[in-house]
Homo-oligomer: A and B are copies of this chain.
Amino acid sequence: MIRIAVDAMGGDHAPKEQIQGAMRAVKEIDDIEIVLYGDEEAIKPYLTDATRIRIVQSDGTIDMGEKDPIAAIRQNRKSSMAMALSSVRSEETDAIVSSGATQALIAGAHILVGRMKKMKRTAIAPVLPTASGKPMILLDTGGNLEIKPEYMVQQAHFASVYAREILGVDTPRVGLINIGTEEGKGRELDRVVFDLFTANPHINFVGNVEPKLVLDPPCDVLISDGFTANIVMKTIEGTVKGMGAMLKQELSKGVLGKIGLLFSIRNLKRFKHRMAAEAIGGAMIYGLRGVVIKAQGSSKAYGFYNAIRQAAHVVRQDVIRKVGEVIEKDEVNDESAA
């Protein structure tokens, strides 16, 4: 059985949507059991099924707008997020899913779960929909603003193993976010990373990728530092939102337009759904001793269910151990080269 810890109290629509997502998960996925960390009183009204579900009472929550996430975690060891994270470290559970505050979850994961052996930095890696229908991993969207090139090599290893084991891509292609495709483009960091990726036998590097291909990318993994990839993610979000508003304005113009819109509503909804990325699940925090999945703060039951499904899949495929092997091999290479 794969045991998933669920932070039932984190998120805009907690605990309702989190519990409903969990209900669906135990119903549809046979090999999991779920431990709900949260307030039993608040949870119970939504508990329609008790199969392979257990509740652990927590005390307090971490606010979404927490200014000092490290202090928030340290001072709230009995919060649903902190308890759920600790359960992964103590191996009571195999994975945790939370829609709670991103920065608190990262800080908490560092403190309570810990980094995996030899991994220098963590990274957050959401999976985005693309025009071709193939998902793409974007990272690091919120970890390390200023990072050493060598650490990005480890992150590329993690993403490559994830793409192979979870997305089912045979030889995942890795692209480096840059302002031009030619070698030598970009900042000092980008040029060094380009050379390291090119030289590394475990990275199938396709070179620099300009974000004008971000939704139709020539790669399965798109990587940059934690500042740049976060800016890319937020620009996609902003453009989708802005275009949605503009599209609505334009499509409803004139009588013909209004009729057209009427017929198109169902397809537009499907489009919105596709862009919402809910179907893809959460963002995994790479580089930890355990499986930590950040579901969107605005997650509804379906999105949260998908994040649970994703967590189970990562455990089932033994992703963290496999990443550890690659990093181990890399180190041996470095030493024999030195």
Contact of A257 among B216, B234, B240, B264 (CB under 8 A): B264
Q: A179-B230, A250-B268, A275-B243 are in contact. Are A238 and B211 (CB under 8 A)?
A: yes
Which residue of chain B is the closest to A250 with respect to CB atoms? B271
A255 nearest CB neighbor, chain B only: B263
A231-267 Cβ-contact flags toward B at 8 Å (1 or 0)? 1101111111111011101111110110111111111
Q: Return the chain B residue nearest A257 by Cβ.
A: B267
Q: 20 A-B contacts, Cβ less than 8 Å apart?
A: A67-B182, A130-B242, A146-B188, A187-B227, A214-B235, A214-B238, A214-B242, A215-B242, A215-B243, A215-B245, A216-B238, A216-B241, A243-B243, A243-B275, A250-B267, A250-B268, A252-B267, A254-B267, A261-B264, A264-B264
Interface SS majority for chain A: helix
Does A145 touch B at the CB level, under 8 Å?
yes
Q: How far is the CB of A173 from chain B (nearest CB, A)?
A: 17
Tell me which of B67, B145, B263 contacts A259 (CB under 8 A): B263
Distance (Å) between the CB of A220 and the closest chain B CB? 16
Docked complex Cα distance between A260 and B263 (Å): 4
The answer to whether A187 and B145 touch across the interface, beta carbons within 8 angstroms, is yes
Nearest CB in chain B: distance from A308 CB, A: 26
Give Cα A275–Cα B227 distance, bound, in whole angstroms. 26
Report whether B264 and A251 are in contact in the complex, using a CB–CB cutoff of 8 Å.
Answer: yes
User: Which B residues touch A172, using CB under 8 A?
Assistant: none
Shortest A305–chain B CB gap in Å is 23
Flag whether A210 is at the interface (Cβ < 8 A): yes
- What CA separation (Å) do A130 and B211 show in the bound complex? 20
Contact A145 B267 (CB under 8 A): no
Interface pair A179/B239, CB less than 8 Å apart: no
A146 partner residues in chain B, CB cutoff 8 A: 187-188
Residue count of chain A within 8 Å CB distance of chain B: 60
| Chain A residues in the interface with B (C-beta under 8 A) | 67, 129-131, 142, 145-146, 177, 179, 182, 186-188, 210-216, 227-228, 230-232, 234-243, 245-247, 249-254, 256-257, 259-268, 270-271, 274-275
CB distance from A25 to the nearest CB of B (A): 28
CB proximity of A186 to chain B, nearest CB, Å: 7
Q: How far is the CA of A215 from the CA of B179 in the complex (A)?
A: 21
Q: Which one of B145, B179, B251, B252 lies within 8 Å of A268 (CB-CB)? A: B251
Q: Which 8 A-B pairs have the closest CB atoms?
A: A215-B242, A260-B263, A260-B264, A214-B238, A239-B239, A235-B235, A211-B235, A250-B271
Q: CB-CB < 8 A to A232: which residues of B? A: 231, 235
Question: In the bound complex, do residue B241 and residue A240 qualify as a contact, i.e. CB atoms below 8 Å apart?
Answer: no
- Report B-chain residues with C-beta under 8 Å of the C-beta of A241: 212, 215-216
* Cβ–Cβ < 8 Å partners of A67 in chain B: 182
Inter-chain contacts of A271 with B (CB < 8 A): 246-247, 250-251
For the complex, what is the distance from the CA of A267 to the CA of B249, rounded to whole Å? 9
Chain B residues contacting A247 (CB-CB under 8 Å) are 247, 271
Q: How far is the CA of A252 from the CA of B263 in the complex (A)?
A: 11
Q: Verify B211–A231 contact, CB threshold 8 A.
A: yes
A267 and B260: CB pair below 8 A? yes
- Cα–Cα, bound, A263→B179 (Å): 39
Q: CB-CB < 8 A to A215: which residues of B?
A: 238-239, 241-243, 245-246
